[in-house]
């Protein structure tokens, strides 16, 4: 692991978040952290987002020989977004941080967070006394996306609490920190196959599964599914598997990614959902809702419902029987 990292951050309007994260993701392996301003309530037991407030997108890259080129490519992509709306995307901020300093500095602002009716995310360094019906997930997201603060994650958990069945097999595509896989298991699922194209995310999922005593029930892989054409949906780095029908079917499929990727993976996502099983798709910005929705319908998703929070849409449906 490198001794130093470059922290790249940019502030954007909520409407521009998906575009900004897509630009950053093209040139980095780690997940993009999306930090929405929020206010803590009830002595830190609850939180409330600040509607319409600017959002910070943050990523960390190794401070090595390729760092300058990566930074320049990201800045070039962001400048194109500014040509569309100069007020929506701020300037790229770069900070050099020692690995041990980064690992601790961000923890100050991360508090226990209740998602849905029962699921509580407890940072592994915080104390929390759960209510009798709550389940607690100890989480250290490391450098992977998935702290529970983003509406996409919260609303996935809301639907997850509704859809999970005891003994279910779960597929988590774009697992990030593993937060959704762990929630599914603690809610009664038997096993989870967790996929991500980021080695950092896969390692974070494995470590968080270990922390929660679930390591034997989580299979975390550096992998993705086939795109709609049978080819990878993006240029993949060496070592990333592209999985097809050989993975079988699952009672519940989770895809908290972005609208464009959900649309491209829709046939594979439905193929991996057993007949009658549920699929939850999130990370969908309101302006791209129809793109993802129509692709999922075309692939065979039925009985679709949605929840909207701010500019973000989360969908749930089922694969038709037979």
Q: Domain for residue 184, yes or no?
A: yes
Q: Which CATH number characterizes residue 56's domain? A: 3.30.70.120
Q: Which CATH number characterizes residue 287's domain? A: 3.40.50.150
* Total domains, the chain: 2
Provide mean pLDDT across the span 211-220.
96
Domain that holds residue 47: 4-107
Are 44 and 161 within one domain?
Answer: no
Tell me what pLDDT residue 27 has: 84
pLDDT digits (tens, 9 = 90+) for 239-251: 788 899 999 999 9
The mean predicted confidence, pLDDT, of the chain is 85
Task: Return the HEC string of 120-135.
Answer: EEEECCCCCCCCCCCE
Q: Domain for residue 116, yes or no?
A: no
| Domain end point (choices 107, 134, 158) | 107
Are 100 and 165 within one domain?
Answer: no
Which residue, chain included where needed, has tokens 């057993």?
A: 274
Buried/exposed 182-209: b ≥16 CB within 10 Å, e otherwise: bbbbbbebebbbbbbbbebbbbbbbbbb
Could you give the percent of the chain with pLDDT greater than 70? Answer: 84
Tell me what pLDDT residue 42 has: 44
Crossing angle of the two packed helices 67-84 and 17-26, in degrees rounded to 10:
150
pLDDT over threshold 90, residue 140: no
pLDDT over threshold 90, residue 269: yes
Q: Retrieve residue 36's tokens.
A: 């929405």
Provide mean pLDDT across the span 223-231.
72
Tell me what pLDDT residue 228 has: 60
Q: Domain for residue 164, yes or no?
A: yes
Q: Does residue 10 contact residue 56 with C-beta atoms inside 8 Å?
A: yes
Confidence band (pLDDT; 50, 70, 90) for 48?
low
pLDDT over threshold 50, residue 310: yes
Q: DSSP secondary structure string, 184-210?
A: HHHTT-SEEEEEES-HHHHHHHHHHHH
pLDDT over threshold 50, residue 45: no
Q: 238 vs 315, which has greater pLDDT?
A: 315
Are 67 and 154 within one domain?
Answer: no
Are 163 and 262 within one domain?
Answer: yes
Smallest Cα–Cα separation from 302: which of 263, 255, 270, 259? 270
């Amino acid at each position: 692991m490198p001794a130093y990292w470059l922290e790249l951050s940019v502030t954007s309007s909520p409407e521009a978040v998906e575009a900004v994260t897509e630009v950053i993701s093209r040139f980095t392996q780690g997940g993009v952290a999306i930090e929405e301003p929020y206010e803590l309530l009830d002595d830190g037991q609850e939180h409330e987002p600040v509607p319409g407030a600017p959002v910070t997108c943050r990523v960390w890259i190794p401070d090595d020989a390729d760092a300058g080129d990566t930074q320049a490519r990201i800045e070039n992509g962001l400048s194109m977004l500014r040509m569309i709306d100069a007020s929506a995307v701020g300037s790229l901020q770069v900070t050099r941080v020692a690995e041990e300093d980064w690992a601790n500095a961000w923890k100050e602002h991360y508090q226990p967070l209740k998602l849905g009716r029962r699921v509580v995310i407890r940072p592994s360094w915080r104390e929390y006394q759960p209510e009798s019906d709550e389940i607690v997930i100890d989480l250290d997201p490391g450098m992977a996306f998935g702290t529970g603060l983003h509406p996409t994650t919260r609303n996935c958990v809301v639907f997850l609490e509704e859809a999970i069945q005891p003994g279910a097999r779960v597929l988590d595509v774009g697992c990030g920190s593993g937060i959704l896989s762990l929630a599914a298991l603690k809610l009664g699922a038997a096993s989870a196959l967790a996929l991500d194209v980021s080695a950092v995310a896969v390692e974070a999922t494995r470590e968080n599964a270990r922390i929660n005593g679930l390591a034997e029930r989580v299979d975390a892989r550096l992998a993705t599914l086939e795109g709609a054409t049978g080819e990878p949906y993006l240029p993949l780095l060496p070592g990333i598997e592209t999985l097809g029908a050989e993975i079988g079917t699952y009672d519940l499929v989770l895809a908290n990614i972005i609208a464009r990727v959900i649309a491209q993976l829709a046939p594979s996502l439905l193929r991996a959902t057993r007949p009658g099983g549920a699929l939850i798709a999130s990370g969908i910005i309101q302006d791209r809702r129809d793109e993802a929705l129509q692709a999922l319908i075309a692939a065979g998703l039925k009985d679709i419902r949605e929840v909207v929070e701010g500019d973000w849409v989360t969908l749930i449906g089922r694969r038709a029987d037979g």
